[in-house]
Amino acid sequence: MYVNNFVNCLSAAAASGNFSIQLQSLNCSPNITLTLVATGTTAGMAPDEIALNAVTQFNTILIQNSAEYLSPKFSSQVPQAAWRVICTDHIITFFSESQFRLTISDNDTGASLVATHDPLLVTYTDLDSLVALMNIGASLTEAQKLLLIQQVSGLIVSYTNNLIVQAGYVQSFVGYYQKSFFLTLGNPIQSFDMPRVAPPGLNFGYLWWDFVIFLYQWNLNPITGQLDFMNSQNLLNIMEPSSLQNQIKISYVAGEYHIPAQVLLVAVQLIKAIINDPIGVKSLKTGSFSVSYKDRSGIQAALALLDSYRL
């Protein structure tokens, strides 16, 4: 089990100041509440600058509080109150194997910060620039912009089954002497943690098994997500990580360093389709009431451009 939550920086700061994020673990022992403070946010900072500035400080605070995520836990173990903080453009991803609550507890910078379960793939700046180019023809309030950004981001994430941005994932496998594991929850793979292995039926001895897998070399194809291992030493009688019924657990980071231009373009096309043609209706008849739909609505056509991102 793992959780990704997001803080989205949608507009630049209007004043110099600080903002705070509160993380509260819910199923750990002990549970903790941790406040991460981002300082030095100045007027005129772009949304991606705000996010990167915050992530650098947040990771330092996690390390100082021994709350930095390091390795996956087995299902028989209580998850740690530990987080990994990752940045993609204006989006800050918080990953943990624990269930946790994320809130923006303070913000005096004037920047628009939004905490969500799915990443918001468009900023207000992106929207304003591209709306003018695409001649959407509607004057949008800040509240309407946020609603539309949330709607189209949700559509893209749901259609592609892909968070697009960098996020954390954990996959579990059962050993049957396979030489490869396929990490399929996100793409492309950016990094992975040392896999953890446990023999069947044992709830102890994990440290030994962590040591054992250090005796193997792990090689990753970041595009296909294929993770292979090979013996890197000459000792005899060392059980392979994928020996029959072994439990193998791998945590990793996957996603794009930057939101692709194609995704941004589709997001704005979706906004235009929602405003101008929300349900793709072709015709309405009164009397014996009937309705017919277009073969492919603007929403469907825009989403189809993202087929290469579908997982």
Arithmetic mean of pLDDT over the chain: 85
At residue 182, the pLDDT reads 94
Residue 133's pLDDT band (boundaries 50, 70, 90)?
A: low
Residue 166 to residues 11, 162, 280, 284: CA-CA distances in angstroms?
20, 10, 33, 44
Conformation bin of residue 205: beta by default, left when phi > 0, alpha when psi is -120 to 50: left
At residue 145, the pLDDT reads 87
- What is the SS3 assignment for 13-50? CCCCEEEEEEEEECCCCCCCEEEEEEEEECCCCCHHHH
Is residue 284's pLDDT more than 50? no
CA distance 195 to 272: 45
Do the strands 189-192 and 196-198 form a parallel or antiparallel pair, or are they unpaired?
unpaired
Higher-confidence residue of 232 and 181: namely: 181
Least confident range of 175-184, 267-276, 295-304: 295-304
Q: What's the pTM?
A: 0.88
Kindly report, residue by residue over 225-248, the tens digit of the pLDDT.
Answer: 999 987 766 555 567 777 777 888
Is residue 292's pLDDT more than 50? no
